[in-house]
Amino acid sequence: MDYFKSLVGGKPSQAPIVAEDADFADFAAAPPPSPASIPASPADAQAASPTGANLAAGDLPRQLTYTKWYRVWERTQLSDFTMEAILIPFLLLALLVHFWGTRTNRRKARKWIAVHEPLLEREFALVGYGPAPQETIEAASTPVDASLFKELVKKSGNGVSEDLLKEKSAYEFESYATGRQNVAFADIKISLKRRMNPLVLIAEEVTGLFIESIKPKPERIEAVIYAFDGKEKDFVPPPVPGSEEAGKQKGVSNSSYDPFVFAVVNKLAMRRLRDERYDLSLTFTKDNAKLPEWATVMSESAEVSEWLLTKDLVDAVKEAGPDHFQYLIITDQPHDKPTNLNETAQKKRLHLALNLPSSEEHYLHTLPLFALFLRLPDFLVSNAKLRPEVLRKINATRDQEKSKLKKISDKEAEEERLRQLDKLKKEERDRKMKGMSAEEQRKFLDRENEKQRKKNEKKMTRRG
């Protein structure tokens, strides 16, 4: 009624509304809420306890602030972490294997460079990736004997400079040397097993038993020497006239030598090398009485084989043995088959591949061959002067390969010329048709079709 009275202008009643619902009777006269006071001491808290229970002073605050959400050990069990308990040991094992494999590979690579660093420093002005040398040194003349090799192995350690070796990956390491007469620079690559990833290592070993093409290679040292070949002036700045360096270089002989391909290879790697390398495909294979049974010669000329197989080289190959020696290659041809004439340019190089020694005793077997390899460019500059007949025979094989490439190149050039000519004709035809009317374009197309029909008829008549 009060509501309707207010609508017609009457004064609403000010009497309090009596709650008819008995469920809210307890809250009708309830006072407004007020914040609870925090007891100043345990004694006050015990006195203010609504139950009046006698509790210890240390237990009451803990019970007042108790909540199970913050107590992980009370709302979880060990069975909730079953998956983590299974995965964490495998993760820790994988990390341990990774660090062990990386550390082992790094130690092996440092051991090799530590043993061979004195030999490299004897021959090159700069070894590693440190500051550039101030001058180029001449070839060392002091001989290298077995006593020196034993001393190198005995004094070597893992404490080598960081500049000597570059870690390309966890299983590949590289080094560099330059600053020597007759040699532009030398690259050294150390390839190791993937000890940090045993799953991949096992997969490669198992797959290699069935597929020879993906058989993993053993731990290997590959060194490549790039000869100057009389091009020092293109890479080394000339010395100042009247200086000490200019006086030293007056008697320097020309570093060029005749081109050829020669290799001493392990018979186990012979077929693979012939299939993988274009330069060795130009050679013929023949056993030599000077070499052991497990090694053979791949050469373009028998005369080259005779004067290159010196006593020192044969003894060094025998000393290395079939377990460590892979190949020694002297070449001027590209590794991969050239696709154009520009790729047939001569690039004289010397390649040496050795399996990584597994112990200090085995280093004594490979050091003589590596030392001879570093001085082999000097021997080539002094002795690699072939007779005209031999050189003519070698060049004949190269000319045949070049003629094949020239035919391919000429054919590609002719096809490109015809494509350009067709493109020009099409552009000229489109330009003419743009200025024609529809009737003129129809007549123009009819004339083209008639010409094409006559050409086809002539071709059919000639074939008939």
Q: pLDDT band at 133, cuts 50/70/90?
A: low
As given in the structure block, the two tokens for residue 117 are: 């660093």
User: Residue 292 has what pLDDT?
Assistant: 94
Measured distance CA(299)–CA(110) in Å, rounded: 35
Give the model confidence (pLDDT) of 22-58 as tens digits.
555 555 555 665 555 545 455 554 555 554 444 444 4
- Write down the pLDDT at residue 318: 95
Residue 21, helix vs strand vs coil? coil
> Residue 222: CB partners within 8 Å, gap ≥ 6?
188, 189, 191, 351, 352, 353
pLDDT above 70: residue 215:
yes
Instruction: Kindly report the number of other CB atoms within 10 A of residue 457's CB atom.
Output: 10
- Write down the pLDDT at residue 52: 46
Summarize pLDDT for 360-371 with one digit per residue, the tens.
888 889 999 999
The reply to whether the predicted model has a pTM over 0.75 is no
What is the distance between the alpha carbons of residues 223 and 191, in angstroms, rounded to a whole number?
Answer: 11
Contact call for residues 353 and 222 (beta carbons, < 8 A): yes
Q: Token digits for 198?
A: 């045993």
Residue 100 has pLDDT above 60, yes or no: yes
Q: Given a cut of 90, is residue 205 above it in pLDDT?
A: no
- Which range among 144-153, 242-251, 338-347, 452-461 shows the weakest confidence by mean pLDDT? 242-251
> Which of 94, 161, 168, 89 minimizes the C-alpha distance to 129?
161
Q: What is the DSSP string of 112-165?
A: HHHHHHHHHHHH-SEESSSSPPSSPBPPP-S---HHHHHHHHHH--S---TTS-
Of the chain, the percentage scoring pLDDT greater than 70 comes to 74
Instruction: Give residue 99's pLDDT band: very low, low, confident or very high (50, 70, 90).
Output: very high
Residue pLDDT, tens place only, 143-201: 666 666 766 676 665 567 888 999 999 999 999 999 898 999 999 999 999 999 888 88
Considering Cα of 384, then 388, then 393, then 398, what sign does the dihedral take? positive
Q: How far is CA 105 from the centre of its chain?
A: 16
pLDDT confidence tier of residue 240, bands split at 50, 70 and 90? low
- Supply the pLDDT for residue 34: 57
The H-assigned helical ranges of 264-359 are 267-276, 302-308, 311-320
Q: Among 276, 277, 273, which Cα is nearest to 265's?
A: 273
Pairwise CA distance, residues 185 & 225, whole Å: 6
Judged by average pLDDT, the poorest of 13-27, 59-73, 201-215, 230-244 is 13-27
User: Of 337, 379, 333, 371, nearest to 352 (Cα)?
Assistant: 371
Least confident of 35-44, 126-135, 230-239: 35-44
b vs e for 241-280, b when ≥16 Cβ sit within 10 Å of the residue's Cβ? Answer: eeeeeeeebeeeeebbbbbbbbbbbbeeebeebbeebbbb
Average pLDDT for 320-335: 94
456 confidence band (pLDDT: 50, 70, 90): confident
Q: How sure is the predictor about 375, in pLDDT bands with cuts at 50, 70 and 90?
A: very high
Whether residue 296 has pLDDT greater than 60: yes
> Which of the pair, 255 or 223, is modelled with greater confidence?
223
CB-count burial class (<10 Å; 0-12, 13-18, 19+) for 114: buried
